[in-house]
Amino acid sequence: MRSSRSRWRAPGSREGRRGQALIEVALLTPVLLLMFAGTVEIGRAFRSYQIVTDATREGLRWTAGRALTSPQAEEFVREALGRGGLNPDEATFSWPVGTGGGLATGDQVGLRVEYRHEWSFLGPVLGWVGDDGAITLSTELYTRMS
């Protein structure tokens, strides 16, 4: 004969806690993965910014010592970006102060490099909210002709 007792669980029973833990993990895992991906993306963007800044500094220093024209200096910066692992075709250049021929010792020369950095992991997520999945990193440096 069957017992008339129903299967009753105490509020602190082990089975109830396992189900609760499973739901917590299911809810928190996407949030933690998104935070991890964001941390990696910010690190990649900072690395790209450092490469752009270093390439700009190298190009400007090289220009100041040789009184080069803009295309020669831009090619030097593109090579430095390529050595850093970035796509040189994503860079744009502007010369806010003096370039190339006609510059004398002591004249100020400046270089601005902008680089379009694509988000690898967060790009698709940002696409959902209408963003194109990229940011523009820019560096503007000045020096005097030597």
Residue 128 has pLDDT above 80, yes or no: no
pLDDT-derived band of residue 123, with 50, 70 and 90 as boundaries?
Answer: confident
Residue with tokens 């970035």: 86
pLDDT-derived band of residue 7, with 50, 70 and 90 as boundaries?
Answer: low
Kindly report the pTM of this predicted structure: 0.74
Dihedral angle, C-alpha 65, 70, 72, 74, nearest 10 °: 100
The answer to whether the beta carbons of residues 28 and 108 sit under 8 Å apart is no
Residue 6 has pLDDT above 60, yes or no: no
Q: What is the pLDDT of residue 51?
A: 95
Q: What is the pLDDT of residue 39?
A: 93
Spatial distance between the Cα atoms of 24 and 17, rounded to a whole number of angstroms: 10
For 41-75, how does the pLDDT look when each residue is reduced to its tens digit (9 = 90+)?
A: 999 999 999 999 999 998 888 877 776 667 888 89
